[in-house]
Amino acid sequence: MKTAITELFGIQHPIIQGGMHYVGFAEMAAAVSNAGGLGIITGLTLGTPEKLANEIARCKDMTDKPFGVNLTFLPTVNAPDYPGLVKAIIDGGVKAVETAGNNPAQVLPFFKDAGVKVIHKCTSVRHALKAQSIGCDAVSVDGFECGGHPGEDDVPNFILLPRAADELEIPFVSSGGMADGRSLVASLAMGAEGMNMGTRFIATKEAPVHENVKAAIVAASELDTRLVMRPLRNTERVMTNDAVEELLKIEKEKGADLKFEDIIEQVAGVYPRIMAEGDMDAGAWSCGMVAGLINDIPTCKELIDRIMAEAEEIISKRMSGMLA
């Protein structure tokens, strides 16, 4: 399949693996890229320029296909060494970056000069237009369904994607709720030029996370995610578990007085324990509602091949048959 996104990133299939904390290591990115999608290393999981440079080198050892790096800009006191991370990306010869969080205007000129294509993750039309105006090459439009941070507008992709299509001139991919060939064709119908998947890629053989995480996704239904931290206006969609239910209890008790410190035990430093050690009740971890559509743990190649075959069948047979 050929779309503006496959052409922009030089990939075979219009499928991007979004940045995921403690999931987006070189093994994940290489597996997706080798399967014809765009794999993404999660910059802040590595944390330092040295470690990121090393991860990029490891990924290059595992694939000769294009891959990217996610760089998330968070409002934080102890900011990571963003200039160093940008340099590691450029020096590593990476040609695709997924930015997320705050506006990436400050780093864009460096990427532009180095010929790095930038796709920015947005949860609203106004943020997507902002990304376009500062020179991003594409945007990833992230609906209310998504795992992680959906923003505070709660607009699902059935509305958000066509709204983005009506407003944007740069290409965009759908993100949030994407699982299969049906998701891809629906996204393309609504004006997207491809799709981004996060949670779906965690439940693959190559995802470098504990088997318990994959099993939890397969076991979950579409009713098993929760929105946490809404009172802090930092809403995150996570898989429910004991820690999350405790967190929600604290949120309810504290009401408008909730402070980050009240829930720090449930959210701070929990990713290594969950993703590496498989301690599934350690805290809140990002997971999309799409878990309800995930029922197996294929290889990335099996997954992507299946998606593309299903998409082609929907277009060539199901849809065309209805028109006949």
Instruction: Name the one range near a copy of itself by CB under 8 A: 106-114, 200-208, 273-281, 287-295.
Output: 287-295
Shortest distance in whole angstroms from residue 48 CB to a copy of itself:
37
**Rounded-to-integer distance, Cα 201 and Cα 214, Å:** 10
Judged by CB, which is closer to a copy of itself: 42, or 187? Answer: 187
Q: Name the nearest CA neighbour of 11 among 193, 204, 189.
A: 193
| 168 binds a copy of itself per the rule CB under 8 A | no
**Smallest distance, a copy of itself to C-beta of residue 152, A:** 10
Residues from 187 through 226 that contact a copy of itself (CB under 8 A): 187-191, 222-223
Part in contact with a copy of itself (CB under 8 A); list of ranges 60-68, 264-272, 273-281, 310-318: 310-318
What's the length of the chain? 324
Q: Which tokens belong to 228? A: 């946490």
Rounded CA-CA distance 22/208 in Å is 8
Residue count, binding to a copy of itself (CB under 8 A): 49
Q: In the bound complex, what is the minimum distance in angstroms from residue 78's beta carbon to a copy of itself? A: 34
Evaluate whether 176 touches 145 at the Cβ level (below 8 Å).
yes
The two tokens of residue 315 are: 């277009």
Widest CA span in the chain:
61
- Note whether 134 binds a copy of itself by CB under 8 A: no
The answer to whether 278 and 213 have CB atoms below 8 angstroms apart is yes
Q: Is residue 324 at the binding interface for a copy of itself, with CB under 8 A as the rule?
A: yes
Q: Are 302 and 36 in contact (CB under 8 A)?
A: no
84 counts as binding a copy of itself under rule CB under 8 A: no
Q: Which is nearer to a copy of itself, 118 or 163 (CB)?
A: 163
Task: Please identify which residue in 135, 162, 208, 231 interacts with a copy of itself, judged by CB under 8 A.
Answer: 162
Give residue for tokens 């449930």. 266
Q: How does DSSP classify residue 170?
A: S
Q: Are the C-beta atoms of residues 178 and 200 closer than 8 Å to each other?
A: yes
Contacting positions for a copy of itself (CB under 8 A)? 1-3, 125, 143-145, 153, 155-163, 165-166, 176-180, 182-183, 185-191, 222-223, 289-290, 292-293, 312, 314-316, 318-320, 322-324
